[in-house]
Structure 1
């Protein structure tokens, strides 16, 4: 999966802002309902929403910091900084949301706290579901638009996209909707049975859900920070484009790296025809760079190294 374009990045900012505003509004409502009812699940949902709100702040910073232009100190730009902030956001979800929910759920089961009244909690959960649903639909619309643009499935796009901000919003909103269902189920069972065990169990399940989301997002950002290549299909297309130049006989080695959500670096050893003069090699190199950038606007840097044929493709892609 290649990087995102400028319009897509602007849409990512909008997606993050909408998600943050929704989370902040419903976090306070959940907190009031949780304190009033004493429900562990509601307090966990409040912690979940507050954690998501802070996460959206980190993601907004990631988009802004990562989009700064290249300078002398950072000749390849600041794209990777966006993944640093996104990784911090994932860690905050782990500590602030998952940790509190699991701890409070266990404490409720052990202490056997009673919860109620329930009506206010149900109303807050219903309103929260509508707000989270609106945020999720916006994120899903962006994901579907981008996956259609690259002619890949939504699942593949989410797995490979370097735009981890929209990926984070999509996963967090999905987890939020599931968490609301779990909280409602925990409250309902606690009300029916009069046993706080169900309320505490719902809180633990919400925490485990957040734990999974945080782990997935953290892994995605770490992979990109280490220096991830483009997907095999795109790698092969780039190699074919270079090899299609008239005086090019082979592309024995091709390296690619995602150096930002909207930046790709391409470096290749190229075997030119033995009888090709230097001027033709220069023209071919310029033509290869022009073709790549025309087809894939995300490719910002292209480095071609003339070499003898027979080298092994050490990219291994």
Structure 2
């Protein structure tokens, strides 16, 4: 097997660079900014919601406070994920620490489930059973309005990043969010979306409680917020588990990689092509390649270098390329693999 890593400086070698997943350093810097802004906003909002919840006695407000505190801790975990995942490779971790990003992002999702969803559902049920009257509503409304502006600001930044990345990839936002290995921007986007919906639910609960005088609505709003957080946590946890197990690249990239390798003049076919996300911006490529029988070992080595150059030029996130010369059938290449 011939292995080629990213230590070589990629040239052009006939491959046309695409805009889609390039500039991983810029994407990482933008992700850090998104996480920091979201964390700062969540902390300030959590304190305000807690004060309003204690003053008014609203279960929905206390649930929202727990929601924001959970999101604040989540942003800390996501920041750790970004920092820890960028540690260089060493003898014990020859492919780097990219997958550690997925570990911390998975822990963040679990914390959202336990710290946010669990508390909100429990407190909502307790409020329904106790049926204790709420206090002053004005402060709760004021805090909800301010929180909506702050959460909206954080959400707009995350949305701009998602929109920019999806344009570079040439896919819809929903498809980008489903397939992106950048778990931090995905988490912030979903959590900020859930926060905005949660604020609306809390406001509805307060309004209905004030209009009817029945604390049931406040408790129902709290339970609804908890269910919302549970769904977000489940989506994020499932995505991170898939990446931890070793998810392949999207099918579009898989097919382009197969095409680039097959376009090398002395390559007959690419019978097997395997890919793996090693981190948010790190990809491993391993392939069985059928070379022309008559070529020399030196020509195969040169062709392997050419393949690495083509792949790295088109997709800078590719860090490792391993090619294994093997027999195959002309024209029978491994296509339509990867994640669809």
Q: Give the TM-score band, short-chain normalised.
A: over 0.9
From 282, 293, 315, give the equivalent of 1:263: 282
Cα deviations across residues 47-86 of structure 1 (Å, max 9, x unaligned)?
0000000000000000000011111211100000011000
Partner of 1:35: 54
Distance in 1 (CA, whole Å) between partners of 2:318 and 2:251 is 15
From 306, 316, 324, give the equivalent of 1:287: 306
Distance in 2 (CA, whole Å) between partners of 1:3 and 1:168 is 21
CA shift, 1:277, in A, is 1.8
From 84, 104, 119, give the equivalent of 1:100: 119
Relative to structure 1, the CA distance from residue 156 to residue 293 in structure 2 (aligned partners, 3 Å threshold; closer, same or farther) is same
> In terms of mean alpha carbon deviation, does 107-116 or 92-101 score higher?
107-116
* Residue 220 (structure 2) pairs with residue 201 (structure 1): yes
Partner of 2:9: none
* Residue 169 (structure 2) pairs with residue 150 (structure 1): yes
SS of residue paired to 1:270: strand
Distance in 2 (CA, whole Å) between partners of 1:313 and 1:237 is 11
CA shift, 1:7, in A, is 0.5
Cα deviations across residues 121-152 of structure 1 (Å, max 9, x unaligned)?
00000000000000000000001111111111
CA contact (8 A) 1:3 1:161 kept: no
TM-score normalised by length of structure 2: 0.91
Distance in 2 (CA, whole Å) between partners of 1:133 and 1:166 is 15
Distance in 1 (CA, whole Å) between partners of 2:193 and 2:337 is 35
Partner of 1:131: 150
CA contact (8 A) 1:30 1:46 kept: yes
> In terms of mean alpha carbon deviation, does 103-112 or 205-214 score higher?
103-112
- The structure that is helix-richer by fraction is 1
Relative to structure 1, the CA distance from residue 42 to residue 214 in structure 2 (aligned partners, 3 Å threshold; closer, same or farther) is same
Structure 1 segments of 4 or more deviating over 6 A? none
CA contact (8 A) 1:3 1:263 kept: no
Distance in 2 (CA, whole Å) between partners of 1:170 and 1:116 is 33
Report which structure shows greater RCO (CA 8 Å, sep ≥6).
2
Distance in 2 (CA, whole Å) between partners of 1:312 and 1:5 is 29
Relative to structure 1, the CA distance from residue 316 to residue 135 in structure 2 (aligned partners, 3 Å threshold; closer, same or farther) is closer
Cα deviations across residues 154-208 of structure 1 (Å, max 9, x unaligned)?
0010000000001000000000000000000000000000000000000000000
* Residue 287 (structure 2) pairs with residue 254 (structure 1): no
Distance in 2 (CA, whole Å) between partners of 1:305 and 1:217 is 35
Structure 1: tracts of 5 or more residues without a match:
none
CA contact (8 A) 1:3 1:262 kept: no
Distance in 2 (CA, whole Å) between partners of 1:274 and 1:94 is 57
The total of aligned residue pairs comes to: 317
Distance in 2 (CA, whole Å) between partners of 1:248 and 1:312 is 11
From 231, 239, 243, give the equivalent of 1:224: 243
CA contact (8 A) 1:272 1:281 kept: yes
From 48, 61, 65, give the equivalent of 2:84: 65
Partner of 2:32: 13
SS of residue paired to 1:182: helix
From 209, 214, 228, give the equivalent of 2:233: 214
Distance in 2 (CA, whole Å) between partners of 1:173 and 1:140 is 10
CA contact (8 A) 1:4 1:261 kept: no
Structure 2: tracts of 5 or more residues without a match:
1-19
